[in-house]
Structures are given as C-alpha cells and as structure tokens.
C-alpha cells in the first residue's frame, strides 16, 4: 500500500521528463530551422536582387549608349558642313551661331560651338546667353588638343563657364589636309540620369581612374571609388576637368557580395557592373537588398514554422498515443473491419456497373448496325437522285444541237430546191458537225455521271465562243440578235475541256436569248460577250438586257430543278456550275431587275 503512491509518482515523473525532452528537442529543431531559413532567405534575396541589378544595368547601358551614339554623329557631320568651313575661313560667324542654335534645339545637345586653330570659340549655339562661349579660349582643354592631334576626342569635364558637367565630343575640321578648327558638342546627361532613376536603385558611371562622372545621386558626382594618388589628384585639379571638386571617397563599403552605403543611399545593396563599349567607363547599378532580405527571411521562417507545427503536433500526438496503445489497436481493428465491409459493398456496386456497361455496349452495337443500314439506304437514294438529274440533263443538253440540226436540215432542203448544191453541202457539213457534238456532249454527260473527266488543257476562248455561237446561230437569227463579241488582240487560253466549256457558254447564251424574248417594252434585245484578264484569271461575262431577276430567284439560281421558265427543267445552270467548278473556276450571276442579268465565268489562264 505504501509503494503505490511512489509508483504513481514515478510514472508521473517519467511522463513529465518525456514531455520536457520532447519540448527541448522541438525548440532546438526550430532554432536550427529558423537559422537555416534566414541564411537561405538572405542568399535568395541577394541572388534575386543581383539579377534585377543586372537587368537594370542592361537597360541603363542601353539608354546611355543610345544618347552617346546619337550625339557622336553630330560633330562628324558638322565638320563637313560648308557653313562651318566658311566661318573658320573668316566668313559670316553670326549665321553659324544661329544655325548651331537651331541644331542644338533639335538634337537636345547642351551646347555646340566651333573653335579656331588657336582654341578660341568663334561661334556657339548659346550666343544669346550671358554665359555664351563665343570668344572664350579652350586651348587648355584635352578635348581640343586631342582633336587637333588625332582628328577626334572625347572628354568628360565640368564646364568652366556653365559650371555644369558633361561629355565634350570633338571633331577636327580639315581643309585639304590642313586643320581649320574643331567642332565641339557638349552632351549633358540629366535626362539619362532621370531615366536611370526610374529603373530603381542607384546607378553611376566611373572613368578609368574610378572618378564618378554620372550618378542618380548628385552628391556622388566627382567622388572616387578608391583614393587617388596625390599626383593624379593634382593633375586633375590643374586641368580644371572637374573644377574644384574635392575628389573624396564614395560612401560605399564592399562586404563580400553586398555593398554597404551611407548618406543618401544608406543600407545594403547588391551591385552589377559592366563596361560601356566605345569608352573606358564602367557602369554600376546598386539595388537595395535590406528589405528583400527581411521579406525573404520572414517568408521562409514563416514557412518553416508552418512546416514544424504539423511535425510538433504529430510528435505530441505520437507521444500521447503511446499511453493508449491498446485502445489504438482496437480502433485499428474496427477500422479494418469497416474497410473490408466497404470494399465488399464497392465490389458489389462495381459488378452491377459492369453489367450495365455490357448492356449499354450491346445497345450501342445495335444502334451502330441501324445507323449503317440507314447510311446504305441514304446512299442508294442519293445514287438514284443523281441518276435522275444526269438523265434529265442529257435530254436538256441534246435538245439544243438537235434544234440547230433541224434548222440546218430545213435550210439544206430549201437550198436543194433552189439547185444551190454548194449551200446545201455547207448546211449538211454543219449537221455532221452537230452530230459529232451530240456524241461529245453524251460522252461528257456520261463522264459527269461518273463524277470524272479528262485532263484540263489549254482551250482557245475565241474557238469556244465561236463553237457556241454556231450552235445558237438559228436561235440568234430568229430572235434578231447580233451578239457583241470581244475584240481579242491575241489568243487567250484557259484551263478547261473544250466541249464542256462550249456547253456552258451555250447554256448561258440560250438562257439570255430566252430571257430577252420576254421583253414587252419595245427595247431591242442585246447580247454582249466580254472577256477580261486579271493576272492569272480570265473572266468571261455573258450580259443580256432582259427583264432581270428578283433577289429570291437570284438566290436559288443554282439549285436543281428550280427554274423561272414554263418548260424548263432547272438543270442547265446546275450542270454549268458543276462544269466550271470542275475546271477550278467559279460561275456567278448578278442581276438588275428590269435591266438584265450578267453571268460571269472565272477560269485559270493557261500559257
């Protein structure tokens, strides 16, 4: 009895120690995870900002190079300008002042001026201003001596008159090999620095000595990255290149991959440096990284905490479950039994679904069989309809040459009665030609029924039109129509089949003749055949002056068995449309009610 409280106390101590050990372990894991997250967050932020700095450096470099290349061309062009040469020889200098003023305004150059051989400015774009360069001596400037010696020179310096920094670009003016003077263009970079500011971070440019020439922070201008040798600093001050600038060190300290700054850009930055082509300058972009580091560290530490919390909860749960192992085993046994029951129910459900699927597949097979039967019946009906259309077309197409044959036969009999053997023989020859044409039409329509045809070949339009007019000769004379034919300066060939093309022309001309026979207003019937070429296309237009068609009749013009004639079959235009389409062309119609119709055949032109 006396040992029972001790045992309960021992068990309580064991459980208490387990929870203390678990808590200490989780605290150690959290500390390590937070330290790793902070280190990874810092590395990620530095990498990201370095990439942004590189991108901004590329854009900043492009902006600077664009301005440099634009302004470098200006002194080269002005060195060849006749007005500049004239002024250097003693000509009108005021006119040159005005010209330089206009050019500076258009090119956004800070100032443009011309120096004589002695280095004295004879003309300048700022001649109106109190700080005009005219009359000032710039022989001491390196950009003048460099241009005289080498033809061209560039120097970044502080203006002795304007007290504004800029790049001086010079080009020597020669006259038959002798120097006349020097053209100077000063470029100021205020807009460039403003554009850099929009990129974010801080951007600056240093020369080969480490002196800052351009910067988005004005206080950094003419400071140095490294301490200059006393002699170098003295030479710079003596040349007045940077005026009285103290040439102090930049407030930057490089700490590994991070640059720390004081003053106007306090904080940590990552840098991206790149050389500026065609110069001895270097461009560097500093992107602030403090905020990015804090954000990435906070984000990763939060993520680590979120990942550790489930782990801690699972650990605590596992620790707690050790005290209820037997209960857990019972729960698992019950869960296993429940799972087996659900599996059995699911198996039964899947078996029923499988039976339904088999029945649906059988029903689909039966539906597919019915669909195949319906398709076969539809194909049979379609073949019968096509056969009826072609049969009707044969009768329609042969009636035209038969009518012409009858006319020529009657003419032959009349001519024989007059003992005009030559005339009768000519009529009989035409009848023979028409019988051959009937055979050709029959063969053509038989081919149409088979949905086939011979190869396309070049067809002379003149011969096709004349052949169609021969068939319609009697009908034209009976209607009192003299066709207006195209005046073809040279033969025109199209890709078609000769007999089928004539067949189309006969159909369209016959329709025009019959349409004009319905005129009741006293107008003279006119039939016009026009031929025009448009690149690789040839258009044949059949134009009548009949009553025309209404919009609804025009819309159904090429539908089978649709006709406005009392005795028509409604197949002529359908067959004609199919024939032209088989040539790779088109057949279309336009109409003006009361004025007539125009049918246009478009075919490919053949060589």
pLDDT value of residue 387:
43
Q: How confident is the model at residue 452 (pLDDT cuts 50, 70, 90)?
A: very low
pLDDT at residue number 383: 39
Token pair of 469 as six digits? 């007019």
Kindly indicate the confidence band of residue 46, based on its pLDDT and cuts at 50, 70 and 90.
Answer: confident
The span from the CA of 87 to the CA of 192, in Å, is 33
Mean pLDDT, residues 332-348 taken together:
87
Q: Residue 170 pLDDT more than 90?
A: yes
Integer-rounded Cα radius of gyration of the chain: 51
Fold exhibited by the domain 1-288: Beta-Lactamase (3.30.450)
Torsion angle (degrees, nearest 10) of CA 221, 226, 227, 233 = -50
pLDDT digits (tens, 9 = 90+) for 434-446: 887 777 666 545 5
Equal CATH topology for 1-288 and 454-606: no
User: Which position has the token pair 């990763």?
Assistant: 300
In this structure, are residues 304 and 37 in contact, taking their beta carbons and an 8 Å threshold? yes
Lowest mean pLDDT among 121-130, 348-357, 385-394: 385-394
pLDDT above 50 (res 2): no
| Cβ–Cβ < 8 Å for 80, 114 | no
For residue 298, give both structure tokens: 């906070």
pLDDT tens track for 297-315? 788 878 888 887 888 788 7
Q: Considering the chain, what percentage of its residues have pLDDT values greater than 90?
A: 15
The HSE-up count of residue 59 (CA atoms within 13 Å, CB side) is: 16
Tens-digit pLDDT profile for residues 91-147: 888 889 899 999 988 888 889 999 999 999 999 999 999 888 898 998 888 899 899
Check: CB of residue 144 under 8 Å from CB of residue 138: yes
pLDDT in tens, 65-98: 888 888 888 999 998 999 998 888 888 888 898 9
Report the first-to-last Cα separation within the chain, whole angstroms: 125
Residue 243 to residue 158: CA distance in whole angstroms: 6
* Interval 213-246: pLDDT, tens: 888 888 888 888 888 888 888 888 877 788 778 8
Average pLDDT for the chain: 82
What's the pLDDT tens digit per position in 258-287? Answer: 888 877 778 888 888 999 998 889 999 988
485 Ramachandran zone, left/alpha/beta (phi>0; psi -120 to 50): beta
d(CA 209, CA 217): 19
Q: What pLDDT is stored for residue 323 in this prediction?
A: 62
Tokens (6 digits) for 500: 């089928």
The span from the CA of 363 to the CA of 12, in Å, is 72
| pLDDT grade for 404, boundaries at 50, 70 and 90 | confident
Contact yes or no for 71/107 (Cβ under 8 A): yes
Sequence-distant (6+) residues with CB within 8 A of 84 are 78, 96, 114, 173, 181, 183
**Sequence-separated (6 or more) residues with CB below 8 Å from residue 378:** none
Is 202 in contact with 265 (CB distance < 8 Å)? yes
Least confident of 143-147, 186-190, 491-495, 559-563: 559-563
β partners of residue 587: 601
Res 223: pLDDT = 85
pLDDT of residue 8: 61
Residue labelled with tokens 């929009």: 198
pLDDT value at residue 374? 59
The average pLDDT across 3-31 equals 73
- DSSP 3-state of 239: helix
The CA-atom distances, in angstroms, between 464 and each of 316, 408, 424, 455 are 101, 20, 25, 17
β-pair type (596-606, 586-592):
antiparallel
pLDDT at 487 over 90: no
Instruction: Measure the CA–CA gap between 533 and 265, rounded to whole angstroms.
Output: 76
Q: Nearest-CA neighbor of 106 among 185, 190, 196, 169?
A: 185
The top-scoring range by mean pLDDT among 292-301, 477-486, 504-513 is: 504-513
How far CA 26 is from CA of 12, 30, 310, 475, in Å, comes to: 21, 6, 12, 111
Residue length of the chain = 607
Q: How confident is the model at residue 449 (pLDDT cuts 50, 70, 90)?
A: very low
Does position 319 have pLDDT exceeding 80, yes or no? no
Predicted TM-score (pTM) of this structure: 0.46
Q: Burial code of 44-72, b = ≥16 C-beta within 10 A, e = fewer?
A: bbbebbbebbbebbeebbebbeebbeebb
User: Which sequence spans correspond to the domains of the chain?
Assistant: 1-288, 454-606
pLDDT of residue 572 exceeding 90, the answer is no
Q: d(Cα 491, Cα 498) in Å, to the nearest integer?
A: 15
The winner for highest mean pLDDT among 166-175, 326-335, 400-409 is 166-175
Domain covering 454-606 in this structure, CATH number: 3.30.565.10
């Amino acid at each position: 009895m006396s040992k029972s409280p001790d045992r309960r106390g021992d068990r309580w101590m064991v459980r208490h120690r387990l929870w203390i050990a678990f808590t200490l372990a989780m605290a150690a894991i959290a500390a390590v995870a937070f330290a790793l997250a902070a280190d990874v967050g810092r590395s990620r932020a530095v990498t990201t900002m370095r990439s942004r700095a590189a991108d901004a450096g590329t854009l900043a470099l492009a902006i600077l190079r664009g301005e440099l290349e634009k302004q470098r061309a200006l002194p080269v062009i002005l060195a060849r300008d006749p007005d500049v040469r004239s002024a250097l020889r003693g000509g009108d200098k005021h006119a040159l002042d005005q010209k330089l003023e206009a050019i500076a305004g258009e090119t956004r150059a800070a100032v443009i001026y011309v120096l004589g051989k002695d280095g004295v400015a004879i003309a300048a774009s700022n001649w109106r201003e109190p700080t005009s360069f005219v009359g000032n001596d710039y022989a001491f400037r390196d950009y003048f001596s460099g241009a005289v010696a080498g033809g061209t020179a560039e120097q970044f310096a502080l203006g002795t008159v304007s007290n504004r920094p800029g790049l001086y670009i010079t080009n020597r003016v020669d006259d038959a090999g002798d120097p006349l003077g020097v053209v100077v263009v000063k470029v100021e970079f205020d807009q460039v620095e403003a554009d850099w500011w929009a990129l974010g971070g801080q951007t600056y440019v240093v020369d080969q000595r480490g002196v800052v020439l351009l910067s988005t922070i004005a206080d950094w201008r003419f400071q140095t990255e490294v301490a200059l040798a006393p002699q170098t600093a003295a030479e710079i001050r003596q040349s007045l290149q940077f005026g009285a600038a103290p040439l102090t060190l930049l407030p930057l300290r490089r700490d590994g991959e991070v640059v720390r700054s004081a003053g106007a850009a306090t904080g940590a930055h990552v840098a991206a440096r790149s050389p500026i082509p065609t110069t001895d300058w270097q461009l560097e972009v500093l992107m602030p990284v403090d905020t990015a580091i804090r954000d990435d560290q906070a984000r990763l530490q939060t993520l680590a905490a979120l990942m550790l919390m489930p782990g801690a909860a699972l650990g605590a749960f596992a620790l707690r479950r050790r005290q209820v192992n037997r209960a857990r085993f019972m729960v698992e046994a019950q869960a296993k039994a429940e799972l087996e029951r659900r599996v059995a129910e699911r198996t039964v459900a899947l078996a029923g679904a499988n039976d339904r699927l088999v029945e649906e597949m059988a029903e689909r097979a039966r539906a597919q069989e019915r669909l195949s039967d319906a398709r076969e019946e539809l194909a049979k009906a379609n073949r019968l309809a096509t056969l009826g259309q072609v049969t009707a077309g044969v009768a329609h197409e042969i009636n035209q040459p038969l009518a012409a044959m009858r006319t020529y036969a009657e003419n032959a009999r009349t001519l024989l009665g007059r003992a005009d053997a030559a005339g009768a023989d000519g009529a009989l020859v035409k009848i023979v030609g028409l019988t051959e044409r009937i055979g050709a039409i029959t063969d053509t329509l038989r081919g149409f029924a088979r949905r086939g045809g011979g190869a396309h070949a070049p067809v002379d339009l003149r011969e096709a039109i004349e052949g169609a007019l021969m068939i319609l000769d009697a009908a034209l004379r009976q209607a009192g129509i003299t066709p207006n034919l195209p005046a073809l300066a040279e033969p025109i060939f199209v890709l078609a089949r000769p007999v089928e093309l004539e067949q189309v022309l006969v159909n369209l001309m016959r329709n025009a003749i019959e349409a004009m026979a319905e005129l009741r207003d006293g107008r003279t019937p006119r039939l016009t055949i026009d031929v025009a070429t448009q690149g690789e296309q040839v258009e044949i237009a059949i134009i009548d002056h009949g009553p025309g068609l209404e919009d609804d009749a025009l819309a159904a013009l090429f539908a089978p068995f649709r006709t406005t004639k009392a005795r028509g079959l409604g197949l002529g235009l359908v067959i004609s449309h199919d024939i032209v389409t088989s040539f790779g062309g088109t057949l279309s119609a336009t109409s003006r009610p009361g004025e007539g119709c125009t049918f246009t055949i478009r075919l490919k032109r053949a060589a």
